[in-house]
Amino acid sequence: MCGIVGFTGAQAAAPILLEGLKKLEYRGYDSAGIAVMDNSVISVNKVTGRIANLCEKTDDGKAVPGNTGIGHTRWATHGAPTSENAHPHLSNDGKFAVVHNGIIENYMSLREELIKEGYHFDSETDTEVIVHLIEKYYKGSVRDALIKTTNRLRGSYAIGVICNDNPGTIYAAREASPLIIGVGTDENYFASDVTALVSHTRNVIYLEDGEFAKITSEKIQVFDCLGKEIDKSVVRVMWDIRAAEKGGYEHFMMKEIKEQPAAVKATIAPRIKDGKVIFDELDISTDKLKSINKILITACGSAYYAGCAGKYALEKLCNIPVSLELASELRYSEPIIDEHTLLIVISQSGETADTIAAMKECKEKGATVIAIVNVVGSTVAKLADYAVYTWAGPEIAVATTKGYTTQVTVLYLLSIFFGDKLGLIKENYEEYVKCVQSLPRFIQQAIDMNPAIPTLAEKYHESKALFFIGRNTDYATSLEGALKMKEISYLHSEAYAAGELKHGTIALIEEHQPVIALCCNSKIMEKTLSNIVEVKARGAEVLALTFRNNEKIVSVADDLMFIPEIDPIFSGVIEIVPLQLLAYYVAKENGCDIDKPKNLAKSVTVE
Ligand code: F6R
């Protein structure tokens, strides 16, 4: 959660730090701050709320002199979002300023120790122990003080430090939190992710856990945890800078919804050649695959729901049982896993703390790990045996859209790939491949076929609660549809397996209760229809999602959204699109901050 940036060069630092923080704001947006060094004077500016407040306070950075600095945008963990708790934090002697992303798990004992030694604390944050430890261990070398400090820390951190004894130098250290160094010409940077850097440089160095860096405008030195200098390669980032801009859209979320045909196409393109599904990145032998007796999918939030949507295709085409565990549960559940388990980890950011912990646990127990991940070089990608990238490009809106659809698409492709390797797909192979190839076109149709959604949003936006129902693949999508709705519109939304309604939930159905019924699986349509009739008999208003020619549903529902007809195994990627649009327009009606919903952050790097 939280985003950090650092800059050193000949230009004024503050405007560059603010620009970087704006790009990272999706990682946290309850308070922000910068510390800039002008010769050896460090000035700190902090605000509550958005980066815009910091821009206002500092006249877009023009009021803050200096060419070296660090910045932070916060998602509060320890202590309320006040300006005292906002980063950067200063050492008692004013020599050091520190920004931090992550959680210091042993901060309480360190805090007590430091207080006993006479250090005073100005905030409630876990971060403040870092800056006092640096002060405590500093004997003229920031590098040595950083080594000693990080040796005392337990938990996760990406840290940025400046010291007024070393004007023009920024320091960075990482453990289990993302941190990237930007390599410029006569100026250098660090940031939590590449979106903050790509307008300045595409050349980056990925810091690994336990490494730290000393960065001046001319030189970047990276050290291991013992302080030994190490060689790091510079990687060229291919992300298109326009992907991190709104490009005329009011919100990133709408831009990203509309980008889905292209994103899914980019996900598919390298994996279908001459009508065959291929995965160059997966050299799993057929013998190894045959030895797999269980597929376990783990992830958090929407990524978990992507797993739910992909499970049906995997089971049907590969004939291997697929189970799903939320990563936050899996990590503490002592899972029964061995070398016959294939673990599929799904993560857009590749930095979700629970997901990383769960995958480490399963890997230790012998599972083969495939990660479906969007951010190149992220922790999840590095830890996996095989990283399969979704190629969705940067996703900026906190609520995932193209991240989700590309994840589900990869699961469809994997199902065909594995099913074929196992010799289980014979006559339908071509049809399945064609279906997946049609997904980008069908997503576009699902966007185009629903011009009534803004009007539906006007009708439903004041509802007390929304219930989403569906069966099988429709149920999987209703889970993600309900999450999308609640996270951006703040409407209470829940998804239920349609057949479960009568086991309790139907008690909540009363006159005018909206029920969003997903009816896109022709094999079980009649069953969902019965559930629609049951809730209508109790006064519910039914907004159905179905095919245009599905007369039975069309005639019984009060309102309709449509998708083009597609084999239900692959329908999840299409069905979610009208639900994303509905959530978007309901949130808009409710005047919500669509790209940055309250209390949320894009990358959940804390437990
Ligand atoms: C919801 C959403 C979250 C993420 C979840 C996992 O729209 O974006 O539920 O899906 O926090 O994040 P990643 O995929 O980065 O591991």
Quick one: tokens of 480? 């993600």
> How does pLDDT run across 175-228, given as a tens digit for each residue?
988 899 999 999 999 999 888 998 999 999 999 999 999 999 999 999 999 999
Q: Whose CA is nearest to atom 11 of ligand 1?
A: 301
User: How far is Cα 436 from Cα 405, in angstroms, rounded to an integer?
Assistant: 12
Query: How do the residues of the chain divide into helix, strand and coil, expressed in percent and rounded to 5?
Result: 40, 25, 35
Contact 517, 470 (CB under 8 A): yes
Q: Whose CA is nearest to atom 9 of ligand 1?
A: 301
> How does pLDDT run across 316-367, given as a tens digit for each residue?
999 999 999 999 999 888 889 999 999 999 999 999 989 999 999 999 999 9
What is the pLDDT, as a whole number, of residue 132? 98
Q: Ligand 1 atom closest to Cα of 304?
A: 10
Average pLDDT for the chain: 94
> What architecture (CATH level 2) is domain 246-437?
3-Layer(aba) Sandwich (3.40)
User: Would you say domain 450-595 falls under CATH 3.40.718.10?
Assistant: no
Average pLDDT over residues 16-23: 95
What is the pLDDT, as a whole number, of residue 65? 97
Q: Whose CA is nearest to atom 6 of ligand 1?
A: 300
Pocket of ligand 1 (CB under 6 A): 300-303, 347-349, 352, 355, 399-400, 483, 487, 603-604
What is the pLDDT, as a whole number, of residue 29? 82
Average pLDDT over residues 96-116: 95
* Burial (CB count within 10 angstroms: exposed 0-12, middle 13-18, buried 19+), residue 151: exposed
**116 membership: H or E segment, kind and range:** helix 107-116
Ligand 1 center to residue 51 CA distance, Å? 23
What is the pLDDT, as a whole number, of residue 26? 82
Q: Whose CA is nearest to atom 16 of ligand 1?
A: 347
Q: At residue 240, does pLDDT exceed 90?
A: no
- Residue 239 pLDDT grade (very low, low, confident, very high; cuts 50, 70, 90): confident
> How does pLDDT run across 259-317, given as a tens digit for each residue?
999 999 999 999 999 999 999 999 999 999 999 999 999 999 999 999 999 999 999 99
User: Would you say domain 3-243 falls under CATH 1.20.1110.10?
Assistant: no
CA pseudo-torsion sign 520, 523, 524, 529 = positive
Ligand 1 center to residue 398 CA distance, Å? 8
Prediction pTM value: 0.86
Ligand 1 center to residue 347 CA distance, Å? 7
What is the pLDDT, as a whole number, of residue 434? 96
Catalytic residue numbers, as ranges: 2, 602
- Cα–Cα distances (Å) from 226 to 154, 169, 229, 421, 540, in that order, read 17, 20, 9, 46, 65
Instruction: Give the whole-number percent of the chain exceeding pLDDT 70.
Output: 99
> How does pLDDT run across 390-425, given as a tens digit for each residue?
999 889 999 999 999 999 999 999 999 999 999 999
> How does pLDDT run across 58-89, given as a tens digit for each residue?
999 999 999 999 999 998 888 888 999 999 99
3-243 and 450-595 in the same fold: no
Domain limits of the chain?
3-243, 246-437, 450-595
- Cα–Cα distances (Å) from 362 to 204, 342, 344, 465, in that order, read 31, 9, 10, 38
